[in-house]
Structures are given as C-alpha cells and as structure tokens.
C-alpha cells in the first residue's frame, strides 16, 4: 500500500546496541510504519535488552527493502528484517518472563510492511528461519487492496491469536495487528488509506479509528479454543475456522484411520521413536512435517514438542498450511493457479485425517 521508494534517511548518530530513543526518519513519502506505535515502542525496549546482530530501530523492519537495508545490522536480507527483529525481541521478552512484551513482539511480526504501491505485496522471508516457533508461525499483513487480501490477512490474524494464546496473552489483541481500508489500485500518490504520526504514542491507526479488523471476536475465540498457555508445548489448533472448501484430492478416510491407529499406538508406548505419525498425504505447497515420538511426548519437524499426539498432528497441519499460503501468495504460486482457498481446504482435510 505504502510507497517507500525515494525514501531518504537522515540518521542521528545511533549505536547499534543502544535503542533508547526512536530513530528520526525524514522526508519519507506517504509511509505508515508509525501507525502502530505502541508495538514499535515495546519491541524497541525488548530489543535493547540484547541486540547481538546490531539491528537499528525496529521501524526499519516495517519499511520497504530499499530503506530497510539501512537498518540491517549483521543481517543481509531485508525481506527478513521484520521477522529477525521480532524473533530477538521475543527471545529477550521470554527470558525476562514478560508475557505482554512477548505478545507485542508477535503483533509486530504481523504488521504490514510498506510495499511500494497500492495493491502490491511485500516478500515473505525465506532465507532464514526464526528461532522461536511462535514467531515462525506468523507472516506480515499484506496490502488490503492486494489479491485475496481479506482471506490472507484473516488467516494471519487467526494464527497470531493462537500464538498469543499459547504464551498466555489475550488472543483478542491479535485484532490490533490489522491494517487500513483498501486503497485504490493505480493511485499515483501510492498513499491509500493510511496515517503516520510519529508523536502519537497510542498509534494513529487507533486514535484516528482507521483500523479494519480482519476477523470477529467469535472467530478469534473459535480459533484458540483448546490452546493451553505456557508456550508452544501443548497447542491444539484443531478448531481454527476455514473458508468454504474447494476440491483437493486427498484420501482423508484412509488417512484418518491410519492417524487414529498411530495415535493409539503412540499412547500405549508401542510407537517407535523416529516413526512418522503424520500420515496425511496432501502436498500442496509441500508435505506436512513429520510427527515423531520424543521430547515430552511428540515432536514436530524436529523442534516443537507437545504433550499429546493430537496437538502435534494439528501443529503439523498448521505448518503445512502456512507454507502453502506463502506459496499461493508468491509469484510462482499465482502463475500456477494455486490459491489460499485451496490451502484452506487442504488444511481442513489434514485436520479431518488426523482427528
């Protein structure tokens, strides 16, 4: 939505390890990166606790790539700056036992980046993996005038709500990550419907009543039903809502029987460590990651561990869905005809097969 072309940066002398004050950015063109100011403020404070990669102010993570490149620190990929800043801030907040700052880092990760023109999308981060699975599960909002933006941004908010609930926060806070009303494609100013007020500590998108929520409170509640607080150790995301299904070729009945048998075997201690309990065979955007016995019970993709197999299988479906949606929103995915709706339908089939 928002142009960051011809952005000129005027930097006060700024230490990469000292983030006590907001960075001053001058002569910007129709930006929106200061619209959610409370989350910039919170992430800035969290990042100041430990900043080994020398990131500059968190605001750079919300700028377009040309401007973001000025705040990379040791990072080399501007597409990944927002994720990397959120990841480090989340790590610091978790070490400090600060739940609200963890929530703020999650919301920061989901905020829309400046994208150059109305209807343009920002690139996903593909060159690095987030350390924290809660951060890895989230993508940034896309321009509300871009293709399929309502469904894409709704999926992002529902996933964000799950991750907020998993750390003990209020999942309804996920709605605060929403963006503006869609602008007009071809707008020569590239402005769309935005605000950008650096000295509004409450965030101009909130004080000017410009926020468009991507989901309802009831949809948030349904998405997080059954998720236990306490990190990523016992998530059960099986109740997330999905749009109307489209045709996806999977043998859900056979997969469901196999998954149920695997769950029974695992619960009785008969499953062998290293055996993949995820038997769903749909592969739009890639196969779901393996679920194996280990950790405190069951391990997904070699990292996330869960107390029960149902939660682990649900997380495996979640990871596949996120990868599929990312592919659908890429240039290659759009050219191949892959849609987020197909990803949603595959996710529903995966959950049915692993119920």
Mean pLDDT on 146-160: 95
Over residues 175-206, the pLDDT tens digits come to: 999 999 998 887 666 555 789 898 999 999 99
Check whether 281 has a pLDDT greater than 80.
Answer: yes
Number of neighbouring beta carbons within 10 Å of residue 8: 10
**Which residue in 215, 209, 205 sits closest to 160, CA to CA?**
215
Coil, helix or strand for 10?
coil
**Which residue in 118, 230, 210, 97 sits closest to 163, CA to CA?**
230
CB 342 within 8 A of CB 140: no
Going 165 to 157 to 129 to 114, the CA torsion angle's sign is negative
Over residues 19-63, the pLDDT tens digits come to: 444 444 433 334 689 999 999 999 999 999 999 999 999 999 999
Distance CA 98, CA 75 (A): 26
pLDDT of residue 323: 86
Residue 269 CB-half CA count within 13 A: 0
Over residues 222-232, the pLDDT tens digits come to: 999 988 776 44
Could you give phi then psi for residue 300, rounded to 5 degrees?
A: -110, 125
Bridge partners of 292, per DSSP, are 299
- Supply the DSSP string of 247-309, one letter for each residue: -----HHHHHHHHHHHHHHHHTT-SPTT---------TTSPPPPEEEETTEEEETTTEEESSH
């Amino acid at each position: 939505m928002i142009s960051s072309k011809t952005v000129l940066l005027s930097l006060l002398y700024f230490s990469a390890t000292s983030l006590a004050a907001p960075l001053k950015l001058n002569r910007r063109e129709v930006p929106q990166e200061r619209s959610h100011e409370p989350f910039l403020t919170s992430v800035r404070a969290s990042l100041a606790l430990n900043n080994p990669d020398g990131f500059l102010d968190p605001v750079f993570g919300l700028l377009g790539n040309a401007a973001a490149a000025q705040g990379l620190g040791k990072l080399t990929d501007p597409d990944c700056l927002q994720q990397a800043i959120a990841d480090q801030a989340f790590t610091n907040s978790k070490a400090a036992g600060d739940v609200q700052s963890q929530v703020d880092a999650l919301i920061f990760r989901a905020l829309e980046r400046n994208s150059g023109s109305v209807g343009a999308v920002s690139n996903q981060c593909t060159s690095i993996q987030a350390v924290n699975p809660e951060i890895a599960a989230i993508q940034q909002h896309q321009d509300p005038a871009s293709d399929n933006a309502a469904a894409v941004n709704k999926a992002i908010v529902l996933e964000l709500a799950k991750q907020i609930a998993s750390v003990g926060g209020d999942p309804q806070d996920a709605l605060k990550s929403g963006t503006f009303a869609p602008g007009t494609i071809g707008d020569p100013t590239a402005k769309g419907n935005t605000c950008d007020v650096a000295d509004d500590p409450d965030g101009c998108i909130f004080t000017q009543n410009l926020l468009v929520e991507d989901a309802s409170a009831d949809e948030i509640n349904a998405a997080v039903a059954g998720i236990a607080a306490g990190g990523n150790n016992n998530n059960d995301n099986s109740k997330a809502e999905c749009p109307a299904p489209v045709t996806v070729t999977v043998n859900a009945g056979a997969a469901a029987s196999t998954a149920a048998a695997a769950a029974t075997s695992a619960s009785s201690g008969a499953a062998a460590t290293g055996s993949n309990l995820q038997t769903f065979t749909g592969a739009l955007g890639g196969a779901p990651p393996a679920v194996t016995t280990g950790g405190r019970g069951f391990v997904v993709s070699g990292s996330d561990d869960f107390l029960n197999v149902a939660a682990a299988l649900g997380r495996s479906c979640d990871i596949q869905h996120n990868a599929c949606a990312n592919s659908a929103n890429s240039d290659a995915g759009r050219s191949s005809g892959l849609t987020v709706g197909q990803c949603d339908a595959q996710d529903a089939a995966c959950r049915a097969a692993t119920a």
